[in-house]
Chain A
Amino acid sequence: MAHSGPMTDWRKAKLPVFAFLAPATILYTLFMIYPLIDSIRLSFFSATNGGDLAFVGLDNYRTVLSDPDWSHTFWNSFWNNMKFFAVHMLVQNPIGIALAAVLSLPRLKLRNTYRTLIFMPTMLSVVIVGFIWQLILSPVWGVGADILDIVGLKSLFGPWLGKEGSALITMAFISVWQWVGIPMMLIYAALLAIPEDLVDAAIVDGATHFEVFWHIKLPLVLPTVAMVSILTFVGNFNAFDLIYAVKGALAGPNFSTDIMGTLFYRTFFGYQLQLGSPTLGATVASLMFLIILAGVLFYLFVVQRRLSRYQL
């Protein structure tokens, strides 16, 4: 944050400054920071038979991470979440970058129309998106097969969402379809900020648009690519709605689409014959918090620092 010029001394206006800051700070603290800290606190407790909370130290963490009943589910959802994230990094972000690169070509007609239309799925609720694709991929309706038939790939079609081996990847692709507009837009904005002289000079020297993108523009927008990656990471490890809408809290078939968000929901509220446990739920949430925090810190202290050192 660049501060422009000297700021006004607050001592002349103590009361107004306090009044400006208090409402936002109080609401934010009460409904965001306090619940986060309290959840971490709860993760060290367990409910007794009487309903009171008893301090159990790291027992809940031991249960979730190493109890045979729990650890399999936990690590399954963790690795599923990693795969979910990997698909976004390998498919969503490269497509987003490519679309942004094409959209930012000079003298492109209809660029605003394309941008508006391609961004549209991002506006839709995850629930709607989930059902749309559930219908399209349904073997009963057969539209998915018909569409593949047009490009001659009908033989590939299968009940992707219903099979253990392909359900998670299919869900990840549905998510990619919806969210590709975000990396496209952020990287497009960064590409627009590159001074034109730089590009023109290279073109005059005989570089192609692809070379200009690869050697000049891409290195300059790397900080944005890194930011998009961390946003993807946080979003993916916090995801829940799409899996819940399509597969329910049980994340079937046979937990093959279970990710951290659905595990958290089930642990907290229970399912079928298993009772929910707020304290174990808090433990799962705290573990999610640690994973997200590790990603954010890695971004802040390793990626961003290294990138800003090389920039210009």
Chain B
Amino acid sequence: MALNIRKDHASRAVIVHAVLLSYTLIALYPVFLILINAFKSRKGIFREPMALPDSKTFSLDGFSKVLAKADFGTYFFNSISVTVVTIAVVLLLAAMAAWALSEYKFPGNTALAIYLAIGIMVPIRLGTVSILSLVVDLGLVNTLSALVLVYVAQGLPLAIFILTEFMHQIPKDLKEAARCDGVGEFKIFFAIILPLVRPAVATVAVFTMIPIWNDLWFPLILAPGDGKQTITLGVQQFIGQYVTDWNAVLASLSLAIIPILILYLIFSRQLIRGLTSGAVK
């Protein structure tokens, strides 16, 4: 009897792992295929598309072509600056607003919280016509600042929502003690509260980062010019031009995949924790 149960468990484990392994293969194989072929010669890509590069087919032609023609350094620099500045601004402004919403009782508190939450469900993209004319009026066309401003507005609603939930859990004694000692409200926020929300920062940063890093729409509309392209737009434009040059296409795809792949593998634990703890309330 006991033996039977153990056998059942073992066979069930085999089925479960088979299911998960097959899906993992479906999720990863396409990416793997692109990466291995980027390191092959043209002949290798077409004759043995599914084989690993070997001494006969190994070639870095694609990469040297891409690096000579496209400005990957600039694309990365632009994407990283836009993302980092946006995350910093969103975190600071959202933490300040979340603190005020969770800590102080003032008329219209709930109404303001709802107003600030509308953006979670309504895509900012629908306001593009007016955003473009606003950016034109401000003289910010083809600047990275235009992207930062739009992305900050896009990132704030969810960030405020998550941080407000989090701030409610901060023990009351901490602030009361500080207030009794005569510490001012600004100092309480910057010296006590801001360091305390550090654990929630990772969650908010991830939720802010992914859509910005991968966005095509606003770079295409607000900053499509030379030298201002983000990585997503740069890759899109480059591949669009060289679509028949397979070495170049595969190499540029790999150049765009590898950094985010490395980042993802480094931060995946933090990211997944953020997704599983912050997302569902």
Chain A residues in contact with chain B, CB under 8 A?
1-10, 13, 16-17, 19-21, 23-25, 27-28, 30-36, 38-39, 42, 95, 99, 102-103, 105, 108-110, 112, 114-128, 131-133, 135-136, 141-143, 146-147, 177, 180, 185-186, 188-190, 192-193, 209, 224, 227, 230, 234, 238, 240-241, 244-245, 261, 264, 268-269, 278-279, 281-282, 285-286, 288-289, 292-293, 296
Contact = CB atoms under 8 A, between A and B. Distances in A.
A118 B99 contact: no
B23 A131 contact: no
A234 B123 contact: yes
Interface string B77-91: 000000000000000
Contact of B46 (A25, A116, A141, A190): A141
B168 A105 contact: no
Q: Is the interface of B mostly helix, strand, loop or mixed?
A: helix
B112 A289 contact: no
Closest 5 pairs (CB-CB, A-B): A35-B127, A31-B153, A16-B185, A20-B100, A35-B130
Given A17-B104, A285-B126, A177 B27 contact: yes
B150 to A, nearest CB: 6
A237 to B, nearest CB: 8
Contacts of B257: 124, 128
Given A20-B189, A234-B121, A245-B236, 17 more contacts: A9-B104, A17-B104, A36-B126, A123-B261, A128-B235, A133-B30, A177-B30, A189-B275, A189-B276, A193-B280, A230-B121, A238-B125, A241-B214, A268-B128, A281-B129, A285-B125, A285-B129
A34 to B, nearest CB: 7
B255 to A, nearest CB: 10
Given A13-B104, A245-B236, A21 B20 contact: no
A25 B100 CA distance: 12
19 contacts: A4-B169, A16-B100, A17-B100, A27-B93, A27-B152, A36-B130, A38-B130, A39-B128, A39-B129, A116-B272, A117-B28, A124-B257, A125-B235, A127-B256, A141-B49, A177-B27, A186-B280, A189-B275, A268-B129
A240 B276 CA distance: 27
A185 B31 contact: no
Given A32-B153, A118-B23, A268-B129, A25 B116 contact: yes
Interface string B11-44: 0110011011001101110110110000000000
Contacts of B113: 1
Contact of A120 (B31, B122, B217, B220): B31
Contacts of B12: 209
A33 to B, nearest CB: 7
